[in-house]
């Protein structure tokens, strides 16, 4: 492959990585036990959760501490729907709408402030959702919700039960891929371009005739409904929902995941979630060890490699002779292959 340009080599690397990930993700239940499959489902859910957070964080430039509240809204709404006999897709759709509207409504209030005040308001409003879940009998109050059914998917001719760990894993994989596709489109399109311009200079953006507030609300809506989708998948997986899921402490999880993986990359949060998954798996017998390792790891990443795992990988690739001088994995500034199709040929 020596005759090819670095860019082509990089494309090959990207394709190979993608193929390996696809094979591993699709084949996982066949060689791993149910415990690992369960953990893998959790990792997939946190990938979607963290990527939805990053839409607000990296692309729109808003740091929200309310993400767990949208996640919990989706989780509770879906669980209550499933318990009352709604179909799986119906429950998920209602959960996504509810979480998206909750996020847009809270965003509408929080966007009246900016900077640190904005972050604190999202935190406070998220805590209100937590209090509602905690106090309301319908949501099980402090005891939470138990016995959440997984239901089954009706494909007309065949009815697939999702009650087994393996079938639910594939269901989660499908939903997470769809969610990531939506987020990918949102960030790699003209819409993403507007979000990036808002992040860089919101006043200047409004002087292009763009209703900045509307775009911020739409990004809240999309991020919220994707967090809601992640939540809707979570309840039936564990079978149990506790009100603590809505607290701001859980909102820090996508933030840490994103920082670990690299916020400036679309796949950064996914890399971070995967990394956390591995740490938790390998420290599962040592109580408290995972927190210690995660703490030290984050400290190292934030101080030494602010670009996160993918930022580090990029600089390694840049330094390697094969990829030198090429624009290997430019941090994702929202510029898309759609918009810049010519770039590679230039």
| Residue 193 contacts other proteins per CB under 8 A | yes
Q: Which is nearer to other proteins, 291 or 340 (CB)?
A: 340
Of 155 and 346, the one with the shorter C-beta distance to other proteins is 346
The pattern of x and - marking residues 283 through 322 that bind other proteins according to CB under 8 A reads ----------------------------------------
Give least dist CB 217 to other proteins, A.
12
Question: Would you count residue 345 as binding other proteins (CB under 8 A)?
Answer: no
Q: How far is the CB of 192 from other proteins (least distance, A)?
A: 9
Query: Of residues 195-234, which lie at the interface with other proteins (CB under 8 A)?
Result: 196-197, 200-201, 203-204, 206-212, 214-215, 218
Is the separation of the CB atoms in 289 and 283 below 8 Å? yes
Q: Of 40-48, 96-104, 304-312, 332-340, which part binds other proteins (CB under 8 A)? A: 332-340
Q: How far is the CB of 58 from other proteins (least distance, A)?
A: 11
Give the residue, chosen from 145, 194, 263, 309, that forms a contact with other proteins under the rule CB under 8 A. Answer: 194
Q: What angle do CA 171, 172, 175 make, to 5 degrees?
A: 85
How many residues bind other proteins (CB under 8 A)? The answer is: 32
> Is 87 an interacting residue with respect to other proteins (CB under 8 A)?
no
Would you say 169 or 215 has its CB closer to other proteins? 215
Residue 258: C-alpha distances to residues 53, 119, 243, 252 (Å): 8, 17, 24, 10
In the complex with other proteins, the residue whose CB is nearer, 39 or 318, is 318
Among 7, 152, 167, 333, binds other proteins (CB under 8 A): 333
CB of 71 to other proteins, least distance (A): 24
Q: Is 339 in the site for other proteins (CB under 8 A)?
A: yes
Which residues contribute to the site for other proteins (CB under 8 A)? 185-186, 189-191, 193-194, 196-197, 200-201, 203-204, 206-212, 214-215, 218, 333, 335, 338-343, 346
């Amino acid at each position: 492959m020596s005759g090819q340009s670095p860019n082509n080599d990089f494309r090959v690397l990207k394709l190979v990585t993608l193929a390996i990930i696809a094979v591993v993700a699709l084949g996982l239940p066949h060689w791993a036990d149910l415990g690992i499959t369960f953990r893998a489902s959790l990792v997939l859910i946190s990938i979607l959760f963290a990527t939805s957070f990053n839409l607000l964080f990296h692309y729109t430039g808003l740091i929200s501490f309310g993400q767990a509240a949208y996640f919990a809204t989706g989780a509770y709404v879906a669980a209550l729907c499933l318990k009352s006999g709604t179909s799986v897709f119906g429950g998920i759709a209602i959960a996504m709408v509810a979480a998206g509207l909750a996020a847009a409504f809270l965003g509408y209030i929080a966007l009246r402030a900016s900077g640190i005040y904005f972050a604190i308001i999202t935190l406070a409003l998220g805590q209100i959702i937590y209090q509602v879940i905690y106090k309301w009998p319908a949501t099980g109050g402090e005891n939470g919700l138990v016995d959440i059914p997984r239901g089954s998917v009706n494909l007309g001719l065949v009815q697939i039960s999702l009650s087994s760990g393996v079938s639910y894993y594939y269901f989660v994989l499908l939903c997470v891929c769809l969610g990531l596709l939506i987020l990918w489109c949102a960030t790699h399109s003209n819409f993403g371009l507007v979000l990036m311009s808002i992040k860089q200079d919101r006043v200047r953006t409004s002087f292009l005739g763009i209703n900045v507030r509307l775009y911020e609300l739409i990004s809240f809506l999309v991020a919220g409904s994707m967090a809601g989708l992640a939540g809707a998948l979570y309840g039936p997986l564990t079978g149990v929902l506790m009100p603590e899921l809505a607290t701001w402490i859980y909102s820090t999880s996508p933030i840490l995941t994103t920082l670990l993986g690299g916020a400036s990359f679309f796949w950064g949060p996914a890399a971070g979630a995967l990394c956390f998954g591995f740490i938790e798996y390998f420290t599962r017998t040592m109580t408290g060890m995972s927190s210690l390792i995660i703490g030290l790891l984050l400290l190292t990443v934030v101080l030494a490699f602010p670009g996160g795992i993918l930022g580090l990988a990029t600089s390694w690739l840049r330094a390697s002779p094969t990829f030198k001088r090429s624009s290997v994995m430019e941090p994702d500034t929202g510029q898309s292959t759609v918009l810049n199709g010519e770039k590679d040929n230039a």
